[in-house]
Amino acid sequence: MQPWHHFLTITKHRLLVCGGCFRVGLYWQGLTHDLSKYSPTEFLNGAKYYQGDRSPNAAEREDKGYSEAWIHHKGRNRHHYEYWTDMNRQTRCYEPIPMPRKYLVEMVMDRRAACMTYQGKNYRDDSALEYFEKSREKQLMHPQTRRELEYILTMLAQRGERETFRYLKNTVLPGKPFPWEAET
């Protein structure tokens, strides 16, 4: 058990997300981001499986075959695409639905902060995109959410934080069209 180190890690992550959210005008989301990580279900498992260089949820999943902390977390935090699933009335299967933009933006801040937290000095503006490209999660997201996220993470990788945050604040959050939407 490493409760102190886990506490420091999740608090550092929250502060990084909060700072990013504040820069684009998402004040409430910045303040309330990931508060469930301090709940007993998430915190105790996080402290038990703490490693410092990756999410304790991965270690818990390797040990138990699932992550109780992650199941708790994704059901309470709208900035995770996994939250956005619902029953399709035609197929009667659970399917992903598009994420509202304010949660998409918070997800970008979350991914950026996670990379900064776990990579430390090795963090680069392309870190979140690189992680996304290696993951299998693209197959599970709604196609619209995937396309929007990939576009924003590519912008962060290629143009940097200042321009990307400006785009999030002035285009994405006000609901202006993405480039492919403007074409139609």
Tens-digit pLDDT profile for residues 122-161: 999 999 999 999 988 888 999 999 999 999 999 999 999 9
Q: Who wins on pLDDT, 52 or 156?
A: 156
Secondary structure of residue 87 in the 3-state scheme = strand
How far apart, in whole angstroms, are the C-alpha atoms of residue 106 and residue 80? 9
| Count of the separate structural domains present in the chain | 1
Portion of the chain with pLDDT greater than 90, in percent: 92
Q: How many CA within 13 A on the CB side of residue 2?
A: 11
How far apart, in whole angstroms, are the C-alpha atoms of residue 157 and residue 152? 9
Domain extent, residue 147, equals 3-182
144 CB-contact burial (10 Å; exposed 0-12 / middle 13-18 / buried 19+): middle
Is the model's pLDDT at 184 over the cut of 60? no
pTM above 0.95, yes or no: no
Is the model's pLDDT at 95 over the cut of 60? yes
Q: What is the pLDDT of residue 182?
A: 75
Least Cα distance to 14 among 25, 3, 29 occurs for 29
